[in-house]
Chains A and B, each alone.
Chain A
């Protein structure tokens, strides 16, 4: 059975094809992509995933609460950092800026989450630590095409699932 992976990424900077290709070819993962926060939340409430990879610079999507937050940040993905707020709402809902309409899915633990973003560890490391998220990779120009696959494997590794290294 394939592992189910949700990649929350609006693909503004990095080529989806370039990074998703190795994941599809690997064959072990069923990759689902959500392009904004609202779509991602809808997906997370609907389905269970084995790994969730989150970008920090995300558009809000349709949900009015998230749009409001985005609006307050001046319609700017860089300053809004909705990915971090999303993680807060999912992992520490009591302290979150945006309350989800229902309690976050019980299966979603920090160990299932990886962050793949432009922000450096210096910028968001503290927040990630508070949320208990260990897997982090910064988007840089020198990354291999298999970086997404590697992040997925790191997330699964931390859950005790042996990584399939046939592609690496």
Chain B
């Protein structure tokens, strides 16, 4: 052991403090700046065990560092001191020790930063969800809510894509279980909606198309006789309507058109979903007309609604009310939109039971009962115009 002097003690203390600052401060700073807050939040919830291990490793590393500094303390030996052979050995062990310490710190760091990578966190949460589905048949709420949180806070594009992909695979796993009865996807579907538009970061066009694809696959898996009028179909259709309306803000109509297609296909595969799908088509079409900039989406919604209505004639009930409701909004949206409404009415007039005017009256009642007063008013205007002209103008 070397002589303990005041200079040695000061150098030793300085060295130890620098090491501590480096070991604790730098990693914290890097995490603070390099890892997004949502990942730190989720990781800190999930990685309590890692923090404990890190604590132990840090303690060992700190002790090793202390020993290291003790052995090769920076106080130089006086020139006249004859260095014994054993002193050389003192240099070998500290070198080994310092290498081990550095390696241990790097390994811990590697695993720790790995655990803060978004895709790793998402995969790990997905695995835990898969495990809970396999063992208990349900999605574990805490892991799912972490996934949803990451989806909501993720940036549009790749970050949201990763979470949507996880939802897609989880939905397939849940629905492919023999125990699945068409119920139980509400939280997951809510997760898709929250990922897309639950916070300040709304998804981009690609995300909307991907979400539409995920929901379409859910719908397709629900198109079996045993899932007729399943609650999950209704939940998915509601979500599609909200996504469709939100996608209007994106600019390009592609997402809204894709969503309309998925809504329509739900009704194609399941007759029980027809009425519910018609309401959603009406909702998206009405929103597209309201902002006055998305006539194409409105026309597409009307076209899908028309095709859906034609499939079961004579036309009556809520499907007829939705179709006429959307036509009334066209009727009130300017001359060209009215022209389009007229052409649809002319084509479909014969299909209404008992007559077009009676169906409009019934639709007004329906819209009134469902608190869609604006639609009821527009239907009233259309009815007056049609009655004034004794049927369809020009027919």
Contacts and interface: CB of A to CB of B under 8 A. Distances in A.
Do the two chains belong together in a single complex? yes
Contacts of B302: 24
B340 A25 contact: yes
B343 A27 contact: yes
A16 interface: yes
Contact of A31 (B220, B265, B303): B303
A33 B303 CA distance: 14
Nearest to B297: A17
A33 B300 contact: no
Interface residues of A, number: 20
B296 A30 contact: no
Contact of A33 (B257, B269, B343, B344): B257
Contacts of B307: 2, 30
Nearest to A43: B265
A27 B344 contact: yes
B303 A24 contact: yes
Contacts of B213: 39
B260 to A, nearest CB: 10
A24 B300 contact: yes
Contacts of B299: 21, 24-25
A13 to B, nearest CB: 13
B351 to A, nearest CB: 10
A47 B265 CA distance: 10
What interface size band does chain B fall in? 20 to 34
Q: Is the interface of B mostly helix, strand, loop or mixed?
A: helix
A118 interface: no
A21 B213 CA distance: 22
A148 B87 CA distance: 88
A135 interface: no
Question: Which of B220, B296, B303, B310 has the most chain A CB atoms closer than 10 A to its own CB?
Answer: B303
Given A16-B257, A27-B344, A33-B261, A1 B310 contact: yes
Interface in B241-276: 252-254, 257-258, 261, 264-265, 268-269
Interface string B285-323: 000000000001001101110110010000000000000
B347 interface: yes
A17 B299 CA distance: 11
Interface string B342-361: 01100100000000000000
The 3 closest A-B pairs by CB, nearest first: A30-B307, A24-B299, A24-B303
Interface of A: 1-2, 11, 16-17, 20-21, 24-25, 27, 29-33, 35, 39, 42, 46-47
Interface of B: 209, 213, 220, 252-254, 257-258, 261, 264-265, 268-269, 296, 299-300, 302-304, 306-307, 310, 340, 343-344, 347
